[in-house]
Amino acid sequence: MNENFSEPNDSEVDELYARLDREAKQGGYFLNPDVEFVKGLVRGLLINERRYGYRACPCRLAADDKQQDLDIICPCYYRDADLSEFGACYCALYVSAAVLKGEKEPSCIPERRQPFMGRAAKPGSSGASPDAAPVKLSVPVWRCLVCGYLCGRERPPEVCPICKAGRERFERFI
Amino acid sequence: MNFEHVAGKERGKITLYALSTCIWCKRTRELLTALGVSFDYIYVDLLKGEDRTKAIEQVKHYNPSTSFPTLVIGDKSIVGFREKEIREAIG
Ligand code: SF4
């Protein structure tokens, strides 16, 4: 853990905020319309990036081990399920269209992530084992564990084109 | 473990386990401050070594999912920023 980092300044927060907003829209997601609330979380993401080396969820306790925290790098593996069920992600950084339109209020929601002892080695993983492939494929199919994007190619993309998750957060699906 | 103390009206023992980067934790702290009660809080993400392990154990005791904020009021615990419940518990 790096403890001697400089606190993110306002322009760094604004910059990441603008980027996340743009990327969210491109992927069909929405940031919480409460800009000050979101900027508070963005500051937390920047602090965690400096502290741990990756943008761990600001509302969860990171283990300071990227492998253990792969599921809670923002956007986390739980975002989509929480958006569908509660209209917001756990931190309420991302919200559903209904919340965006003011038809629903985001509120604090239960933690979907299992405590460490009960967590699978690869949280969220639901992929078939490659041997179980029903058909012979010319290339494997990879699934983004954050947003479910699927693609058929030799290796997963470096960055998910939909949610910007890194290659290490893909699983072999078929 | 060094808890930060916030002085105020005595309403029994109130302890807030929080994360320094979490906005719901911040809202909980602000609510307690606005209510003017005396409470202690700690940022678990800033702790190291034994203190961290000890704090996590304490949180787990009240809240097995070890999520934040975990607020302990007497022997009652409230997980998450639940404004109504917190106001009711403090009275
Ligand atoms: S998407 Fe997940 S990691 Fe990102 S802020 Fe929301 S809950 Fe936290």
| Residue A114 pLDDT | 87
In the predicted model, is pLDDT for residue A86 greater than 70? Answer: yes
**DSSP string spanning A1-32?**
----PPPP-HHHHHHHHHHHHHHHHHHT-EE-
Tokens 């009711």, located at residue: B88
pLDDT band at A5 (very low <50, low <70, confident <90, very high): confident
Per residue in A55-83, pLDDT (tens digit) is 999 999 999 999 999 999 999 999 999 99
Number of domains in chain A: 2
- CA dist list (Å): A12 to A61, A91, B23: 23, 20, 18
| CA dist., res. A13 & res. A5, Å (int) | 15
- Full-model pTM: 0.90
Mark which of A65, A88, A114 sits at the end of a domain.
A114
Tokens 């409460």, located at residue: A34
Q: Mean pLDDT throughout A2-20? A: 94
Q: Is residue A76 part of a domain?
A: yes
Looking at the structure, tell me whether residues A86 and A140 fall in a common domain: no
Region class of A135: left (phi > 0), else alpha (psi between -120 and 50), else beta: beta
Looking at the structure, tell me whether residues A24 and A102 fall in a common domain: yes
Q: What number is the ipTM of this complex?
A: 0.93
| Residue A134 pLDDT | 64
- Min mean pLDDT across A38-42, A105-109, B26-30 is at A105-109
Helix residue ranges, H only, chain A: 10-27, 35-52, 66-69, 79-86, 97-100
Looking at the structure, tell me whether residues A41 and A74 fall in a common domain: yes
Cβ contact B24:A59 at 8 Å = yes
pLDDT band at A115 (very low <50, low <70, confident <90, very high): confident
Q: Mean pLDDT throughout A25-29? A: 94
| Closest alpha carbon within chain B to A48 | B21
* Structural domain harbouring A16: 10-114
| Residue A104 pLDDT | 84
Cβ contact B17:B39 at 8 Å = no
Whether residue B19 and residue A58 make contact (CB cut-off 8 A), yes or no, is yes
| Residue A130 pLDDT | 56
Looking at the structure, tell me whether residues A161 and A88 fall in a common domain: no
Count Cβ–Cβ pairs < 8 Å, chain A vs chain B.
Answer: 56
Write out chain B residues lying below 8 Å of A62, CB-based.
45
Q: Mean pLDDT throughout A101-121? A: 78
| CA dist., res. B47 & res. B41, Å (int) | 12
Looking at the structure, tell me whether residues A96 and A164 fall in a common domain: no
- Give B21: exposed, middle or buried? Use CB within 10 Å, 0-12, 13-18, 19+: buried
Mutate to test the interface with A, among B17, B21, B78 (most CBs of A within 10 A): B21
| Residue A107 pLDDT | 75
Identify the helix (H) or strand (E) that includes residue B4: strand B4-6
Q: Mean pLDDT throughout A28-50? A: 97
Greatest Cα-to-Cα distance within chain B, rounded to the nearest angstrom:
37
Q: Is A94 helix (H, G, I), strand (E, B) or coil?
A: strand
Q: For the beta carbon of residue A16, count every other beta carbon within 10 angstroms.
A: 18
Q: Crossing angle for the helix pair B83-90 and B23-35, nearest 10 degrees? A: 30
Q: Fill in the amino acid letter for B52.
A: R
| Residue B1 pLDDT | 84
Cβ contact A146:A79 at 8 Å = yes
Q: How far is the CA of B35 from the centre of ligand 1 (A)?
A: 29
Per residue in A116-127, pLDDT (tens digit) is 655 655 554 555
| Residue B32 pLDDT | 98
Domains and CATH numbers, chain B: 4-90 (3.40.30.10)
Q: For the beta carbon of residue B62, count every other beta carbon within 10 angstroms.
A: 17
Q: Is residue A120 part of a domain?
A: no
Q: Is B49 helix (H, G, I), strand (E, B) or coil?
A: helix
Can you give the CATH number for the domain in which A145 is found?
2.20.28.10
| pLDDT tens-place values along chain B, 91 residues long | 899 999 999 999 999 999 999 999 999 999 999 999 999 999 999 999 999 999 999 999 999 999 999 999 998 999 999 999 999 999 8
Alpha-carbon distance A158 to nearest alpha carbon in chain B (angstroms): 28
